[in-house]
Structure 1
Amino acid sequence: MKSRYLAAAGIAAVLAVAGCSSGKSSSGGSSASPTPAGSSSASASSSANTASGTLTVWLQTDAQTGWPKEVAAATQRFNAKYPNVKVDVQYQTWADHLTKLDAALAATPPDVVELGNTETTKYMATGALADITADKGKFDNSDTWLAALEQSVTYNGKLYGVPYYAGARAVIYRTDQWQGAGLSNPPTTLDEFLKDGEALKAKYGANDPNYSALYWPGKNWYGAMSFVYGYGGAIATQDSSGKWTATLESPQSQAGLAELKKIYDALSKAPADSDESKQDSIMAQGHVGMIYGNGWEVGVITGPKDKGGNPDLKLAAFPMPGPDASKPLPSFLGGSDLVIPAASQHKDWAEEWINDFVGNTGMTALVNDAKVIPNTTSLLSLLGDNAFAKAASNSWFVPTAKNWADVESQNILQTMLANILGGKQSIADATKAADAQINQILNGS
């Protein structure tokens, strides 16, 4: 599995090339540190000083290798308040952590668990996680959490976790070709983006029949839905009764898909029936001017030649622009959440440790030292001109419906997009078919 964060060295390199082209304390934020319900500050402090036991925390090995100092600092802050509570941090791997978690939930669960943000819905829907809605104000910066990360821990209007860190998508481009086509500043609107892409195509595509100014695999649904949300549409919405309604047929959603098709037809030679899994290695082959990808793909593209990379390429990045210059196109946010199993006997401790780790002080250190995209818009500026951080400022997330995973596994969006971009169906017909399938799945038992 690809690392879920952009390594410090990699993001520093992106910041360097992108720059050529284009708080509060841990007790601050939304409220003070967690205080047990019904307790005065003095009695809570006394209780914390005498509390004893073990708080078990499951984090992924990304933290062990990428920011162990920040994990240790969080525990140190926690122990300043709970001196007799031992924090047992156990590192897990993405390959088997869910299998281990399912077993632990049936026996003795950990108190804090890191989940990939697309994994959280399953556990919210089954009641496996603690409802922390009433405690949201205890967490620093909870009023400025990244929108898509907050959505990933929200189910039926209730909060079941705290955003940890994010990964966003941006346009990765070759600076030599950009300059060779007479281009300078990154585009600020999609019209400008298309015009710049056509300049690349005219310069480098005339003698290269395989050239794509923008390599856009047809089944790239994460990217395609950014157009849907950027034009005011959505995959599906939920009403107050809990019913989901697919909305890809809406005028706004169709307008976004029409814009994508216009750009795809003009700039991309990628097959309509392909996905984005190999777009980075394809760009490394030298026939591509731009892709819409994750930050870690920069390292793949410029990696060693014996691993399919091309270290000679010079790259930079910019957020995919929106319909106007007011904000970039919304980016799907990957990343991680921190949750508390409902069966944990130490909810107050867990909330305190989480805030010590990803509250304002801890998150600031994570951004400065590990260069992760923070969980809050209030700290994005710490990453300077980084394109992926800028892209994260405007984001979207998949519907947090209990059956959403079935929509993905049945490739409904991928099929719809392949049919639209491959010319097999009109946008109206393809979205109508997709909506019918999504409605049936999301509202099924």
Structure 2
Amino acid sequence: MSVLLMTAGLSACGGSSDTSGDDSGGSTAIDVWLMRDSVSAAFQDDFVKGFETAHPDIEVKVQIQEWDGIGEKVTAALASNDAPDVIETGNTQVARFAQSGGLLDLSDKVGELGGKDWLKGLAEPGAYEGKQYGIPYYAANRVVIYRTDLFEEAGVDASAIKTRDQWIAATEKLNSGDTQGIYLPGQNWFTLAGFVWDEGGDLAAESGGKWQGALDTPEAIRGMEFYEKLQALGRGPKDSDEANPPQADVMAKGKVAQVISSPGGANTVIESNPELKGRLGFFPIPGKSASTPGAVFTGGSDLVIPTASGKQDAAYTFIRELTGDAWQKKLAVAMSYVPNKTTLASAVAADPGAAAMAVGAAEGHATPNTPGWAAVEAKNPIKDYLTAVLTGGDPHKEAAIASEAITTAMNSGS
């Protein structure tokens, strides 16, 4: 695909001078922070070369950052006079950084960037208090990875599983003999969140300027009831998450018919057990009705521009091109990601895992859009709630306890 040719000189990005600090003949050098393993080195090199060819007046200097500790590093950079010009950040981190006042408001660029078609799971957390700071970059979400051979042996047609009821019926049929119908550990809280959203509930809600935990609402409790029903059809632990033990290892070592994971989990399964190559398939997490896939948590990244950048016009040009249709299609194919717009889903039609992911992404959500959510994830009372219910606790009582813990964490910020 040809590179999109774009112009700089964007007055809406503030009064930036766009001068470089080098002797490159008047060109603008921008510093860009991208995250480790978000894209391959090959794709990064391809994009940078294409971008610099299209924009010979802009030089791109990419610095790869580690996810571990990135929140503190970005916070410090935004408060300094030496911030990078473009930063890749996790979609749910944008509110935290925007709260400090250190991000450039890009609200007036949403239309130009095709924002009406953005995945809401990237766009909504990229906004804070009615202003758009984060520009959707790429998305990934969970799907069902299944053993095609075990489905065939049980006479189950994966393509016919469109609803939750059909999913339960199929899993019950698969769960026989030495075959485990599904491996779903007790603390997979992102999966629970999807079931809660399906029911019209949420993890927390804002009222009167304050956030409150919402796991004790009727809708959220119905989501928990479905989780409990599905989890009972496997032999997953009730007191640990999908990383303990790694569920890909569990699937690789035994006759596990299904796991809920991002499609990349299939590669890990095959690495552990090469005999399963060609025996894994994908389908979207089913919803309550056949017309709507199950809700999923949308992971992924947004791109932001620090207010401290002195090269905001060039930084915006970089973001506009990387998040534009031409490069989004290339990125999706190269990395098996979901593109940032619903209108680009066909770009991954030939990739079974990414195609299933794209279907679910249309019903993607993000965690509550507030800086205080970071404190919830740090303590994660949702995991404790799941284990308590799955080990016999009263759902209503345990939901009230978890909701109170969420409320306290969100409003204390600690």
Q: TM-score range by the shorter chain?
A: 0.7 to 0.9
Distance 1:38 1:132, change over 3 A: closer
Distance 2:72 2:404 in 1: 33
Q: Which residue of 2 aligns with 1:399?
A: 368
Q: Which residue of 2 aligns with 1:165?
A: 138
**1:137 partnered with 2:111:** yes
2:217 to 229, 235, 250: 250
Distance 1:175 1:409, change over 3 A: same
Q: Which residue of 1 aligns with 2:50?
A: 73
SS of the residue corresponding to residue 359 of structure 2 reads: helix
Q: Which residue of 1 aligns with 2:316?
A: 351
Q: Is the 8 A contact 1:194 1:263 kept in 2?
A: yes
2:241 to 245, 252, 275: 275
Distance 1:365 1:219 in 2: 35
Gaps of at least 5 residues in structure 2 are 14-18, 20-24
1:234 to 202, 208, 213: 202
1:1-41 deviations in whole A, cap 9, x for unaligned? xxxxxxxxxxxxxxxxxxxxxx99947xxxx96763379xx
1:326 is displaced (CA, Å) by 1.2
Distance 1:213 1:252 in 2: 26
1:149 to 108, 112, 122: 122
1:333 to 289, 295, 298: 298
Q: Is the 8 A contact 1:75 1:353 kept in 2?
A: no
Q: Is the 8 A contact 1:71 1:357 kept in 2?
A: no
SS of the residue corresponding to residue 137 of structure 1 reads: coil
- Give me the TM-score of the superposition, normalised by structure 2: 0.87
Q: Which amino acid aligns with 2:153?
A: G
Q: Is the 8 A contact 1:51 1:85 kept in 2?
A: no
1:225 to 180, 193, 205: 193
1:73 is displaced (CA, Å) by 1.8
SS of the residue corresponding to residue 212 of structure 1 reads: coil
**1:379 partnered with 2:344:** yes
1:51 is displaced (CA, Å) by 7.3
Q: Is the 8 A contact 2:200 2:219 kept in 1?
A: yes
Q: Which residue of 1 aligns with 2:404?
A: 436
Distance 1:326 1:24 in 2: 36
1:188 is displaced (CA, Å) by 0.3
1:398 is displaced (CA, Å) by 0.7
Q: Is the 8 A contact 1:64 1:91 kept in 2?
A: no
1:133-160 deviations in whole A, cap 9, x for unaligned? 2222232x31111111112212222211
Distance 1:255 1:99, change over 3 A: closer
1:305-361 deviations in whole A, cap 9, x for unaligned? xxxx11112110101100111111111121111111121112222111101111112
Q: Which amino acid aligns with 2:274?
A: P
Distance 1:293 1:434, change over 3 A: same
1:168 is displaced (CA, Å) by 1.0
Q: Which residue of 1 aligns with 2:64?
A: 91
Distance 2:36 2:374 in 1: 25
Q: Is the 8 A contact 1:34 1:138 kept in 2?
A: no
1:129 is displaced (CA, Å) by 1.6
1:107 is displaced (CA, Å) by 3.8
Q: Which residue of 1 aligns with 2:16?
A: none
2:87 to 92, 109, 113: 113
Q: Which amino acid aligns with 2:34?
A: L
Count of residue correspondences: 391
Q: Is the 8 A contact 1:331 1:391 kept in 2?
A: yes
SS of the residue corresponding to residue 231 of structure 2 reads: helix
Distance 1:98 1:251 in 2: 34
Q: Is the 8 A contact 1:24 1:360 kept in 2?
A: no
Q: Which residue of 1 aligns with 2:164?
A: 190
Distance 2:66 2:257 in 1: 35
1:412-432 deviations in whole A, cap 9, x for unaligned? 1000111112212x2211211
2:273 to 298, 310, 335: 310
Output the aligned Cα RMSD: 2.5
**1:212 partnered with 2:188:** no
Q: Which amino acid aligns with 1:237?
A: A
Distance 1:91 1:432, change over 3 A: same
Distance 2:200 2:116 in 1: 23
1:378 is displaced (CA, Å) by 0.9
Q: Is the 8 A contact 2:285 2:360 kept in 1?
A: yes
Q: Which residue of 2 aligns with 1:59?
A: 34
Distance 1:333 1:24 in 2: 29
Q: Which residue of 2 aligns with 1:20?
A: none
Q: Is the 8 A contact 2:286 2:293 kept in 1?
A: yes
Distance 1:51 1:377 in 2: 39
1:189 is displaced (CA, Å) by 0.2
Q: Which residue of 2 aligns with 1:200?
A: 174
Distance 2:125 2:12 in 1: 29
Q: Is the 8 A contact 1:33 1:138 kept in 2?
A: no
Distance 1:274 1:52, change over 3 A: same
Q: Which amino acid aligns with 1:418?
A: T
Distance 1:51 1:36, change over 3 A: farther
